Every structure is written in structure tokens, then in C-alpha cells.
Structure 1
Amino acid sequence: MANDTSIGPSAKLAVLVDADNVSASVADSLMAEVAKYGTAHVKRAYGDWTGTGLRGWKEHLLAQSIQPMQQFAYTTGKNATDAALVIDAMDLLYSDRLDGFCLVSSDSDFTRLAQRLRESGLTVYGFGERKTPKPFVAACDKFIYLENLTGPADTAAGPAAPTPAAGLKGDTALVNLLRNAVEADSDDDGWARLANVGNSITKQRPDFDSRTYGYGKLSELMAATTLFDVDRRSSTGKATMIYVRDNRRPRPAPA
């Protein structure tokens, strides 16, 4: 299967969690986010479960039916958990029964794993804190910051408050990203389907997320900038489609 960040709810996913690196408090919101991209056929959390450091994970493992994978810390300062997760990921890859992987860690050690999985045509979703090194973020098809997920979290910061229009318009990188994506997918009248715009943005910036700016949906973010026209189109028996247009473009003359 070709890499596609919108492979759909029928996609078979493996969720592999570096429990040594991720707080248990995000478990519920993490699995809710995963459900947006497909069905978690494999759910595993890796760590040394004989110690007390992962005690907070216990109730979440049971509630979410996540399988704990025991990995002893053989040597101080060496992360055996990472190696165990990578080995299992490759075994699952060669089983040829999955459409994608969710790698949950803020550790750059998984950069090459993400690259290898994508080279095999599988979609890779990364999950980690904002401190995650950029190489790992860029190696994924899509990267979701744990701080953006709703629900309890003890990460560095919770969901962001909505950024006002002035702040959004002053963010040159954001404005250029949005405008370029709309232009690339627009028709002769300048209208672009929002779903296509979102896919174009993610291909350029795997970690792009409207929630980073305090907006739950891309359509809300684009409307908040006041730089785009937003049009919801519906027809009998069909779902509503959202289209956006750079409002700097001249409107076509009436027929």
C-alpha cells in the first residue's frame, strides 16, 4: 500500500509504545487519536515492568487492552527497550498483514525504523512530545504531538489556547504554508477541496496540526486567519464537502 495519511478507518495498524519514554497519562487520548487513522490490530507497550517506574501504566494497559512487553534493562545507560520495539516492528512488517504503524516515543532512535517502514510502503504515524527531534518527525508520514491531545496529560504543556487572527496572520511560515497548499490544489476559480489541502500540508510538514494553534479542525484555523473564504457544499445524498479559497484572488465575473 502506498503511503497515505488518510488510509481510512479500515486500515490495520500496529501501535508500539516506548513506555519508558511516554507518560501513562496520555494512554486514553492516544488510543482515541489512533482510532481516527484506523483500527489498532496490535497494541504493545515496551519497558521493564518489574520496576516501579511504569506502575502508572497498569490500569491503562488493562483498560485499552495493550499488551505489556517485558524488556529487562541489562546494562545501565543502555536502552534495551528501543531494540526490542524495533525487532518486533520488523517481525510485524514481514508478516505482511498491516497497513501502518503508530510509533509512540519522543526518542530519535526510531528515525531509521520509521524510514524503513515507509520504504516498504506502509504509513507511519509518529506520536511524541514537542521535544521530539526533527529527524524522527520528518521520517513519519504524520506526526502528532502528545500535548495536542485532549484529556489528562502531564506533558510540558496542554492543548494551546486559540491564537487570534492577528497572531495567525503574523506567522509568515504558517500563512505561506496554507496559501501554497490552497494554490497547489485549486481549480480555475481558486477553490480547493479542504481534504486535499490538508494532505498537501501534511506531506510538507508531518507535524502540522491545527490544534497547535488552538483550533480543533483545519477549517476552523483557516477561517480564523480571515485570509480564506470557506464554502461548505452539499448535495442530496452526499456528505458536505468543504472548499477554501485565498481571498486575495479576484472573484470571477458573474455569468
Structure 2
Amino acid sequence: MSHVPLPGAVGVSHLSCYEWLAEDGVRGGSPHVHLTCTEAYVVTGGLGAVQTLTVSGYEEHDLSAGSIVWFTPGTVHRMIQRDNLRITVLMQNSGLPEAGDAVFTFPPDVLADPDAYAEAAVLPAKEGPEADAAARRRRDLAVEGYLVLREASQDGDDSPMREFLRTATAIVAPKVERWLPIWQEGALAAAERTGAQLKALLDGDGSHLTQATVVAATPSRHGGYGMCGRRDEYELPGITAPDALRAAKP
């Protein structure tokens, strides 16, 4: 086996939620949606919340140490900072978020223009004042579009949210062909290995147990600018991502 992914081929990172104040008086991250990946927050410290928006409506879940919340593709989510919120993120389909499986809730005119969207979404630097300012502008632009979606939802109108999801689908559609090998070599391969092991065990064959492997990792990057906050990332075996794409991860 060339590499050993995390259980279930999930991705993992640690987040410290942004402290920046948004236009609605709330501190927190950039609202966005994933199109193929379920995401889980495991709260390790502090206090905060996650705001979620689906076609079914708006919710806010309080977060404190020990809380877990997860949401499926199509859920717009926004992490809220109250007091030193720290979270470990578990992401389905490791490799797909790194390849661009997320769309910010920018205003419709930005979403409709591929060049404008790309310029707003990708950070010009990894660190320093330029990266800090760009990450904050990106967050503010996502909040601007998000608040319109949320207000409509709270008024009982789901049409703006449905239109956003249609636009998000159009944004990622050109990338999907490149995602298939990532999924096939990651999450699908992990499930198929389990299937093969179950079949072997039914036949009394436990030879795979002699190939046991142990893997250890530490963060390869501390404090990167993600969608929700400063992010500690892992370069796990078999998972790679160009810097320009990694800059857009949560």
C-alpha cells in the first residue's frame, strides 16, 4: 500500500475562529458551502456558535468544549467567535476540499463572474499583512452575500438560497472531472479495502493483518488563513494540494 489515509479517508485540521467584527456586529468566519463533503466540528475549547443555512431554513448551534456538530453538502455555514473558540475539523473525502470543493457566499454579481470570483476567493500571499487584509476582505464579502440569503430565508423565501446553490454548482462543475481520481484513490479505495478485508475474513483469511502500519503526523503548517479562521494543516500521506487551492480551504 503506497499510503495510509486517516480512518475513512477523512481530512483533519485545527481552527482558531477569526476575531474580526463583521457588518452585523458578529465576530467570525467566512460563510461558505461544500458540494460533496460532509464536515464535522469537534470543539476542543472556548465558546462560539455555528450558523447554518439550508433550503429548509436557518439555525444557530452554540459551541463549547465537547460539542460536536456536522452538516452535509448544501449547508451554508458560518463559524461564530465568542471566547477563544478552538475546533478540530473532520472533513469527508480528504483531498476534495483542497481541490476546491467549497464556494463562498459572495454577492450574486461576484458569483456570476468567474474572474471576479477567483480574484475574491484566492489569497495573494500565505502570511503577513497582505494575507491578513485579503482574508478579511474575503470574509466581509462572503458575509455581505450571506446576510441577504439569511434574511430571505427568515422571511420564508428560499429562492435566493436555491439560486445560490445553482450558481455554486456551475462554479465547481468544470473541476469535477479532476476530483474523480482524488475520490477514487481516497475515500472509495478505503471503502473497497474494507470490503476486501471483510470478504477475506469470511473465508478465514487474515493475511492483511500481517501488513499492519502505524503512521504519525504533526501539523505541516501553523496559522494558515482558512475560510473560518487561522488553520493548522496536515500534509497527510497521499494528499497534496497546490498552494493557490489550499489558500481557499476552510
Shared fold (TM-score greater than 0.5)?
A: no
Which structure has more strand as a fraction of its residues?
2
Q: Which has the higher contact order (CA 8 A, sep 6+)?
A: 2
User: TM-score with structure 1 length normalisation?
Assistant: 0.23
User: TM-score with structure 2 length normalisation?
Assistant: 0.24
